[in-house]
Amino acid sequence: MTGPSETSITLARRALARYRERGTDQADTPMPLPVSAYLDTERYAHEIEHCFKRLPMAIALSLELEGTSTYRAMKILDTPVLVVRGRDGVARAFLNVCRHRGAQVVPDGTGTGLQFSCPYHAWVYDDRGALASMYGESTFGALERSERGLRELTCTEAAGPIWVCLTPGIAFDIDDWLCDFRIELETLDLENWHLHAERDIPGPGWKVVWDGYLEAYHHNSLHQDTVGKFTIGNLVVHDTYGPHQRITFGRKSLKDLMDQPEEKWAPDEHIRLIHSVFPNLSISGVLGDHCLVSILFPGPGPDTTVTRQYVLAAQEPKTEEQIAATEGFSNIVLRAVRDEDYAMGFTIQRGLASGANETFLFGRNEPGLQHYHRMVARYGCWSGD
């Protein structure tokens, strides 16, 4: 049996130091942000184009496409996307749009198959997106099949998610994008978890939603009956990796480490890690052998989102005790996110246009929010204010 990693020991040590001083990691100064950043539709369209449509974005988990000949069709930012794991085991992504007259080829959802027939005129595409056959081909007239395959999107798998760029023709190197954060993500071993539950949760605007994922300042007040029972409010250990970040929360049991020599520590029992990948992925190891993965998809305007929430277990729960533990975890994170964070977020969204605030102010104790909004400014390239 292997002992705790040096990273876990270091993070627990840092969190314990903050606990002793009743402090937290901090940014240099508070950071103001105009409320128009949450409301302006022109700014929204510009930032979505640059931060979501032109950058690598997590759109699914590799473990969703188990085995060959599996697929998932979905709409992301009004873009129909089809992800297929072909007979060669490689995941590829395409615009789910027929190259004849533009119909959606595959209904949204999951399934198995090596060929996909457009329901309009029965043009058939294979697992690599190539045009395999055409109904009435002899009467259609001449065309070059190789030029009429499904439009491919740059797609790769790394560290658990499937990453795609929604804009055809834009290539990316996932190692360059994730930089050193890939190593941190790979320690989570996401490919080998059991997918227990998946659900889509409607939410308020993109930035309102993401603000709630990146700080513990609200845990004591908003989450006192759910995750706040386990975590220390207003304590974070903050690390950045380019645009991405890892946030470490202290669990209420963190104080137990004060009376133990480090060589006897089991640090993973006393800290909670949030791995946040810009712009839309959050991975949260919360309670023991369970993990919450959230992939955020902005809506058609700045006031709505859908979050795909995955509940993972280290192994498939089979005994009554295991099933109860996994269901308990699933229920508590659903309550915390849907009934607390997002319910609060909807009230924030409704108040944005009231004129009560011209700016929001992110405190020094909210370094994760400051970092995220600086990355939005960097990659979003908005200059309208």
Q: Which domain holds residue 95?
A: 57-171
Q: CATH number for the domain including 100?
A: 2.102.10.10
237 pLDDT above the threshold of 70: yes
What's the CA gap between 206 and 214, in Å, rounded?
Answer: 13
Q: Could you tell me if 268 and 371 lie in one domain?
A: yes
Number of independent structural domains in the chain? 2
User: Residue holding tokens 């959802």?
Assistant: 109
Q: What percent of the chain has pLDDT over 70?
A: 98
Q: Could you tell me if 303 and 361 lie in one domain?
A: yes
Q: Could you tell me if 79 and 44 lie in one domain?
A: no
Q: Could you tell me if 83 and 37 lie in one domain?
A: no
What's the CA gap between 185 and 58, in Å, rounded?
Answer: 13
Kindly state the DSSP code that residue 97 receives in the 8-state scheme: B
With H, G, I as helix, E, B as strand and everything else as coil, classify residue 109: strand
2 pLDDT above the threshold of 70: no
Q: What pLDDT was estimated at residue 288? A: 64
Three-state SS annotation for 187-242: CCCHHHCEEEEEEEEEECCHHHHHHCCCCCCCHHHHCCCCHHHCEEEEEEEEEEEC
What's the CA gap between 338 and 336, in Å, rounded?
Answer: 6
> pLDDT tens digits for 258-309?
989 999 999 989 999 999 999 999 999 655 689 999 999 999 999 999 999 9
> pLDDT tens digits for 173-215?
999 999 999 999 999 999 999 999 999 999 999 999 999 999 9
Q: Could you tell me if 48 and 64 lie in one domain?
A: no
Q: What is the mean pLDDT of the chain?
A: 94
Task: Classify residue 1: in a domain, yes or no.
Answer: no
Q: Could you tell me if 251 and 364 lie in one domain?
A: yes
Q: Could you tell me if 49 and 72 lie in one domain?
A: no
Question: How many Cα atoms are found within 13 Å in the side-chain-facing hemisphere of 122?
Answer: 5
Under the banding of pLDDT at 50, 70 and 90, the label for residue 1 is: very low
Query: pTM for this structure?
Result: 0.94
Task: Classify residue 309: in a domain, yes or no.
Answer: yes
> pLDDT tens digits for 295-322?
999 999 999 999 999 999 999 999 999 9
